[in-house]
């Protein structure tokens, strides 16, 4: 990316009062657009039409259109793992699947049909527990991309859940997390879905093992045959069919994934099974249809009317031209409370890189630190810093226009808070305004002098406001696809491979080494791979638990 060009382009923006851009009375019309049912207002970004035009030029220089075509056509964009990036084909019509995947398309279509049949059969009771009862609970075990997508959609789409069927997700390897589930679940009516692309992930396998043991124990006390309960209650989604079978899962109950679907973009594949089981095929298809509508928009709209492209370029503007290091994701819907965590993974795991596609060190920074929380909770916590500190934190406000509950006064308050926060973050409060307010409230000069600076707020914080017409499967699908494409565009401009995650692998390697060292007798604790700090921590842990004698 041409940083010198970006620096030159942004020279005025750095000095500018963002609010002054609203001297143009047509700004909110010019800086907003709709796509796939979503509405984006980006008028509160610190950017002019000319500057945005400059960013479009940058996208053209990066041959963004060619890259979009290449991605949807299945070229191997993930060049460190020699993989295509084709999660989009999973939500495309079958003709498109055949055109892109060739012979492999039939396996994908068959898997979708098999998944749909499982969903119908579980919902109708045709597929039932060993005791002949209808399943009451779905427990999904997975982590990272094999967890977040399902989690975010499950909590967002509660009104679409089939009565009598509850879904639960288990990710954390802390045994407490599993224990919490056991307290809620009846093993005899629980269906388990293990989701692991590799079927080698430590957390998922440990959790699957304890859940299996819990179910076997419950089953023996119920006089069921143990092998039956695992064969009938357990499903898996994986590329590693052999490992899933070796774990004891009935081969008929294993749905394949493909290496061209990245974990964090896999909700659209059979990874979505726990979600589909609970919301049903019709709503799962609507989720995919919303994502497909955004795919179409992304491929067809010119840059100046392209929502993912605009959001991506604004993100680059804030990160690389204006130098802001983070991005707050603030959904003003309780139902979207899992979205910040989901986007944290998709964005930071994808674009948190420091070398380009050819392995050359970058001379600019990439993904911002993404964080967030549901509104209005954040206002009474970390948003204080967003208003009062000198740091500027660009923000995405996300809101469903239609209320998700019957409590309309609460929804009005929620909406008002959302709109007010973007305004407050942009306008801030000058010293003169703070002084005038204090004077009006009857403060004397000394009091004004003492307090006015504390009440001054920098403002100038840029934000997007994204509106969903209502929180339904279609809109959610469009929203998730919007962010997927935004991340893709940023990866293209930053020239990084958004689809590998070697950093996670390093953690896994050292995790194994730590476990290996922990298993040694106290006197032998040593490792060339670990620092004296970590070795001392291991000794302290063993001292406390006397792990070696277990």
| 143 is an interface residue for ligand F6P by CB under 6 A | yes
Report if residue 334 touches ligand F6P, rule: CB under 6 A: no
Binding mask 405-444 for ligand F6P (x = CB under 6 A): ----------------------------------------
Question: Which helix (H) or strand (E) element contains residue 463?
Answer: strand 463-468
Identify the helix (H) or strand (E) that includes residue 141: strand 137-141
Min. distance of Cβ 477 from ligand F6P in angstroms?
A: 19
Strand partners, 237: 195, 255
Residue 238: C-alpha distances to residues 136, 254, 368 (Å): 24, 7, 31
Token output for 438: 């204090």
> Shortest approach of ligand F6P to residue 467 CB, angstroms?
30
d(CA 148, CA 483) in angstroms, rounded, equals 14
Question: Which of 501, 517, 538, 542 is in the footprint of ligand F6P by CB under 6 A?
Answer: 501
Query: Out of 67, 197, 233, 319, which residue is the one contacting ligand F6P (CB under 6 A)?
Result: 197
Q: Which stretch binds ligand F6P (CB under 6 A): 63-71, 144-152, 486-494, 535-543?
A: 144-152
The owner of tokens 């940023």 is 490
Are the beta carbons of 130 and 225 closer than 8 angstroms? Answer: yes
d(CA 317, CA 322): 6
Catalytic residue among 14, 184, 222, 508: 508
By CB under 6 A, residue 264 contacts ligand F6P: yes
Give the nearest distance from C-beta 275 to ligand F6P in angstroms: 16
Does residue 516 have an active-site annotation? no
Terminal Cα-to-Cα distance of the chain (whole angstroms): 55
User: Of the two residues 44 and 212, which places its CB atom closer to ligand F6P in the complex?
Assistant: 212
The helix/strand/coil state of 268 is: coil
Q: Does the protein bind ligand F6P through residue 204 (CB under 6 A)?
A: yes
Q: Verify binding: residue 196, ligand F6P, rule CB under 6 A.
A: yes
Min separation Cβ 235 and ligand F6P, Å? 15
- Cα dihedral value 460, 461, 466, 471, nearest 10: -130
Residue 262 CB, nearest approach to ligand F6P (Å): 7
- Give the three-class secondary structure for 468: strand
Nearer to ligand F6P, 197 or 353 (CB): 197
Contact indicator for 399, 467 with CB cutoff of 8 Å: yes
- Stretch binding ligand F6P (CB under 6 A), from 194-202, 221-229, 281-289, 418-426: 194-202
Helix, strand, or coil (residue 301): coil
| Residue 180: other Cβ atoms inside 10 A | 14
Task: With residue 416 as reference, give the H or E element that holds it.
Answer: helix 408-427
Closest contact distance (angstroms) between CB of 195 and ligand F6P is: 6
Among 3, 436, 441, 504, binds ligand F6P (CB under 6 A): 504
Name the residue nearer to ligand F6P (CB basis): 424 or 487: 487
Of the candidates 95, 103, 380, 454, the residue annotated as catalytic is: 380
CB of residue 519 vs ligand F6P: minimum separation in angstroms?
Answer: 23
Q: Which is nearer to ligand F6P, 426 or 480 (CB)?
A: 480
Q: Which stretch binds ligand F6P (CB under 6 A): 18-26, 89-97, 190-198, 448-456?
A: 190-198
For the question of residue 349 being annotated catalytic, the response is yes
Binder of ligand F6P out of 37, 149, 263, 340 (CB under 6 A): 263
Torsion of CA 112, 115, 117, 118, to 10 degrees: 180
- The SS3 call for residue 225 is coil
**Nearest-approach distance from CB 199 to ligand F6P, in angstroms:** 7
Length of the chain: 550
Nearer to ligand F6P, 140 or 167 (CB): 140
From start to end of 358-449, where are the E strands?
A: 369-372, 395-400
Whose CA is closest to 55, among 238, 319, 275?
319
Q: Is 480 helix (H, G, I), strand (E, B) or coil?
A: helix
Q: Which residue is nearest to ligand F6P (CB)?
A: 263
Known catalytic membership, residue 508 = yes
Which one, 144 or 394, has the nearer CB to ligand F6P? 144
Torsions phi, psi for 515 (to 5 deg): -60, -40
CA atoms within 13 A on the CB side of 86: 23
d(CA 178, CA 437): 54
Catalytic residue among 51, 112, 349, 435: 349
Tell whether residue 212 is a contact of ligand F6P (CB under 6 A).
no
Nearest-approach distance from CB 505 to ligand F6P, in angstroms: 8
- Bond prior to 501 in cis (omega within 30° of 0): no
Distance of CA 111 to the CA centre of its chain: 25
CB of 484 to ligand F6P, least distance (A): 14
Considering the rule CB under 6 A, would residue 272 count as an interface residue with ligand F6P?
Answer: no
Q: How many residues bind ligand F6P (CB under 6 A)?
A: 13
Residue owning tokens 């959302």: 418
User: Binding ligand F6P by CB under 6 A: which of 65, 155, 189, 198?
Assistant: 198
The answer to whether 144 and 264 have CB atoms below 8 angstroms apart is yes
Identified binder of ligand F6P from the candidate list 71, 123, 129, 146, rule CB under 6 A: 146
- Given candidates 37, 54, 144, 372, which one binds ligand F6P under the rule CB under 6 A? 144
Residues belonging to the active site = 349, 380, 508
**Residue ranges in contact with ligand F6P by CB under 6 A:** 143-146, 196-198, 201, 204, 263-264, 501, 504
């Amino acid at each position: 990316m041409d940083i010198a060009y970006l620096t030159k382009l942004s020279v005025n923006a750095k000095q500018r009062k963002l609010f002054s851009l609203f001297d143009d009375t047509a700004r909110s019309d010019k800086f907003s657009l709709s796509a796939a049912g979503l509405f984006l207002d980006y008028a509160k970004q610190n950017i002019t039409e000319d500057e945005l035009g400059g960013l479009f030029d940058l996208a053209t220089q990066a041959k963004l259109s060619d890259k979009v075509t290449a991605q949807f056509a299945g070229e191997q964009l993930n060049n460190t793992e020699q993989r295509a990036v084709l999660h989009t084909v999973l939500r495309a019509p079958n003709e498109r699947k055949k055109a892109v995947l060739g012979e492999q398309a039939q396996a994908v279509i068959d898997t979708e049909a098999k998944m749909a049949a499982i969903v119908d059969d579980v919902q109708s009771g045709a597929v039932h527990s060993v005791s002949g009862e209808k399943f009451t609970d779905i427990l999904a075990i997975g982590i990272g991309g094999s967890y977040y997508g399902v989690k975010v959609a499950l909590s967002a789409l509660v009104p679409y859940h089939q009565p009598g069927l509850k879904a639960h997700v288990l990710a954390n390897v802390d045994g407490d997390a599993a224990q919490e589930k056991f307290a809620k679940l009846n093993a005899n009516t629980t269906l388990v879905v293990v989701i692991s692309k590799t079927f080698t992930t430590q957390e998922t396998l440990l959790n699957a093992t304890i859940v299996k043991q819990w179910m076997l124990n419950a089953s023996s006390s119920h006089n069921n045959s143990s092998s039956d309960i695992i064969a009938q209650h357990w499903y898996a989604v994986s590329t590693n069919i052999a490992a899933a079978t070796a774990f004891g899962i009935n081969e008929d109950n294993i749905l394949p994934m493909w290496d061209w679907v990245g974990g964090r973009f896999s909700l659209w594949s059979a990874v979505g099974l726990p979600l589909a089981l609970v919301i049903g095929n019709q709503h799962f298809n609507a989720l995919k249809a919303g994502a497909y509508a955004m795919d179409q928009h992304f491929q067809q709209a010119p840059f100046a009317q392209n929502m993912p492209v605009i959001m991506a370029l604004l993100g680059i503007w804030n990160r690389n031209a204006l130098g802001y290091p983070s991005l707050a994701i603030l959904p003003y819907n309780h139902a979207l409370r899992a979205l910040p965590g989901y986007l944290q993974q998709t964005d930071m795991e994808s674009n948190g890189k420091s070398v380009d596609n050819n392995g050359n060190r970058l001379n600019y920074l990439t993904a911002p630190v993404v964080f967030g929380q549901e509104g209005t909770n954040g206002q009474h916590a970390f948003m204080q810093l967003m208003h009062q500190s000198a740091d500027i934190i660009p923000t995405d406000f996300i809101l469903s226009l239609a209320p998700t509950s019957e409590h309309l006064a609460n929804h009005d308050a929620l909406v008002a808070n959302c709109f007010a926060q973007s305004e407050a973050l942009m306008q801030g409060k000058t010293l003169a305004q703070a002084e005038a307010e204090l004077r009006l409230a009857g403060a004397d000069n000394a009091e004004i002098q003492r307090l006015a600076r504390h009440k001054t707020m920098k403002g100038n914080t840029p934000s997007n406001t994204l509106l969903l017409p209502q929180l339904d499967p279609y809109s959610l699908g469009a929203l998730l696809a919007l962010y997927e494409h935004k991340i893709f565009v940023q990866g293209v401009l930053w020239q990084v491979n958004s689809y590998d995650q070697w950093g996670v692998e390093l953690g896994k390697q050292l995790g194994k080494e730590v476990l290996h060292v922990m298993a040694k007798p106290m006197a032998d604790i040593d490792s060339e791979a670990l620092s004296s700090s970590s070795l001392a921590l291991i000794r302290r842990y063993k001292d406390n638990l006397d792990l070696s004698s277990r």
